[in-house]
Structure 1
Amino acid sequence: MFALFLAFLFFPNPISIAIALIGANLPDFDHDIKKINLYKMEIIGLLFFIILYIAKLPYFIGIILCILPIIFYYSNHRGFTHSLLGIIILSILIFCVVVMAVNILSPFLNSFDLMNMGNGIFPFNLLAMSLIVIILAVLTLNKKIIAPFLLLFLLGMLFLPEGFLRFLLPFYNDIYRYIYSIVFLNYLNNVYFDYLQFIFNYKYYMIAIFIFLPLFLGFFSHLILDALTPAGIKLFAPFSSKKFHKKFALLSLVLISILFFTILAILNWNLIFA
């Protein structure tokens, strides 16, 4: 619930809220009771790798899905996956999976456009992202909350404002090209010039804002709650075993509150002087 509250404050749209909730549930995959989920994820990753490799599609998704359970398996409970470095790495990996999966699914859905959905306000890349969110939810969330999660998520997507649909997702092909080329060092002509354009293009930042940041916020909300427990968290693992407790949690809440009111003030200022 804490992750949902934070996500709603900063990212009031169903995709970002759902991704934040998924991120909030992932750190505890390092617990022994979650080992069966890790085995399932490893098998799914191997299947994706084989299928995508045979189909001559980007198989890096399968590699990441195989790496993720390994990270959780070898991390002690409240160890690396409950550290600042850990949640950054996990957020980046899952972000890459989402972006690449959208670009693989969108053309596939386009080829089966029997109801002309892609010509309306619900584009294929958004439909692809919805399917990816659902798959991640089934793999990561507690079985008791999957049904209400899916119901609320689908209702949220159906009533999502049209402006959001047209603004959020036209740039996935470009960001995917850079992720894939950087990962495999498969640089294109004039890649450095293109990369500078990529860095300074605010539209790419918007993709990170709606996907990567909610995911990271979900992870971070989990750390805050665990810091309030007597066991605490090893925030800088594996470099330091020092545990952080209530002071870190309270400081984090203060900083999040300051950030929220700062963003709110900037938005109001822009509305007044626009």
Structure 2
Amino acid sequence: MPSYKKHLIFSLIMIFPFFPDVYYLSLAVIGASVVDLDTSFRYRNLVLMALVGGLLAVTLQFLQITPFPGLILISIALFFFVAQHRGIMHSILGNILAAACLALFVISFQNILVKITPDPRISLFLTSIILGIIVLNRGLLIIYTLFVSIGIFLAPESTFNFIYVSTALFIGSLSHLILDLFTGSGVKLFDPISSHRYGKMTGLFIIMLWLVGVMFFYLNPAESHASLNYVFSQL
């Protein structure tokens, strides 16, 4: 199985216990895939991201709406273009930055779409599809689109929540790092602060922490949600 498919499957496994909602599952898939945009063979995705961002910024400006969502996409594309593969974007700090920037795009774009679309599900669908087009491997787009379409329009309506958006994107990108810890070269988890490479034992440790988190979440659901809300309220 190609490595990118393993990354996407593992991201779904990691996010599902917390957010079994197709919209947030799709964001986790985006988070897992965006980490590898620092590779040269994914530069076409970055070019597409920059073009979509530019078109979106110009269109929104013409409509006298803030071009911020488009500018965010352009910034993400430029950042990944200059990043070294398995450098800062394959670190905890890089994951936080990528998830934060993508969350800003999702929130700002979502707020615009909600005002101009009659059905909230349409705005969720459009956000997921745009992210899929500019981030995912072309071979996955059909499956991804079907998955998102069925889940958003046929399942119970999703609740749009900034905390959930940020968490889903971060867990997705973190899942990518965990799998990379099991490769021969390991991962510089704390780049650029430290160049030390971590490997399988660290990956197993993080998975154990995830399992503890899942058990705590299901044993104390109300307390877990309150803790999550508190953490993000401090950011």
Match in the other structure for 1:116 = none
Match of 2:121 among 126, 132, 146: 126
Distance, in Å, in 2 between the alignment partners of 1:13 and 1:128 is 16
Aligned residues: 216
Structure 2 residue 60 is matched with structure 1 residue 106: no
The 5 Å alignment of 1:182-221 reads 207-221=161-175
Match in the other structure for 1:39 = 47
Shift in CA distance, 244/269, structure 1 to aligned 2, threshold 3 Å:
closer
Q: Deviations 1:107-148 (Å, cap 9, x if unpaired)?
A: 2223xxxxxxxxxxxxx3332021110111111111222111
The 5 Å alignment of 1:1-274 reads 1-110=9-118, 124-161=119-156, 164-165=157-158, 168-169=159-160, 207-267=161-221
Name structure 1 gaps, 5 residues minimum.
111-123, 170-206
Q: Is the 8 A contact 1:102 1:125 kept in 2?
A: no
Give the alignment's Cα RMSD to 1 decimal.
1.8
TM-score norm. by structure 2 comes to: 0.87
Specify the SS of the correspondent of 1:72: helix
Name structure 2 gaps, 5 residues minimum.
1-8, 225-235
Question: In percent, how many aligned pairs have the same letter?
Answer: 30
Shift in CA distance, 267/44, structure 1 to aligned 2, threshold 3 Å:
closer
Q: Deviations 1:182-206 (Å, cap 9, x if unpaired)?
A: xxxxxxxxxxxxxxxxxxxxxxxxx
**Structure 1 consecutive aligned stretches of length 4 or more whose deviation exceeds 4 Å:** none
Shift in CA distance, 258/44, structure 1 to aligned 2, threshold 3 Å:
same
Q: Deviations 1:54-98 (Å, cap 9, x if unpaired)?
A: 222111112111110111111111111111111111111111111
Superposed displacement of residue 219, structure 1: 0.1
Distance, in Å, in 2 between the alignment partners of 1:43 and 1:241 is 34
Superposed displacement of residue 216, structure 1: 0.4
Superposed displacement of residue 267, structure 1: 3.3
Shift in CA distance, 104/220, structure 1 to aligned 2, threshold 3 Å:
same
Specify the SS of the correspondent of 1:94: helix
